[in-house]
Amino acid sequence: AAAMAAGPPPPPLDPLPLPGFSGEGFGDKFLRKTRENPLVPLGCLCTVGVLTYGLICFKKGDTRKSQLMMRARILAQGFTFAALLGGMVVTAMKSR
pTM: 0.68
Cα–Cα distance, 65 to 84 (Å, whole number): 28
Residues 14-50 pLDDT 10s: 776 666 656 788 888 889 888 888 899 999 999 999 9
Residues 45-95 pLDDT 10s: 999 999 999 999 999 999 999 999 999 999 999 999 999 999 999 888 888
Exposed/middle/buried for 85, CB within 10 Å: 0-12, 13-18, 19+? exposed
User: How many Cα neighbours within 13 Å face the side chain of 46?
Assistant: 18
For the chain, the structural domain boundaries read 39-95
Cα–Cα distance, 83 to 63 (Å, whole number): 30
User: How many Cα neighbours within 13 Å face the side chain of 16?
Assistant: 4
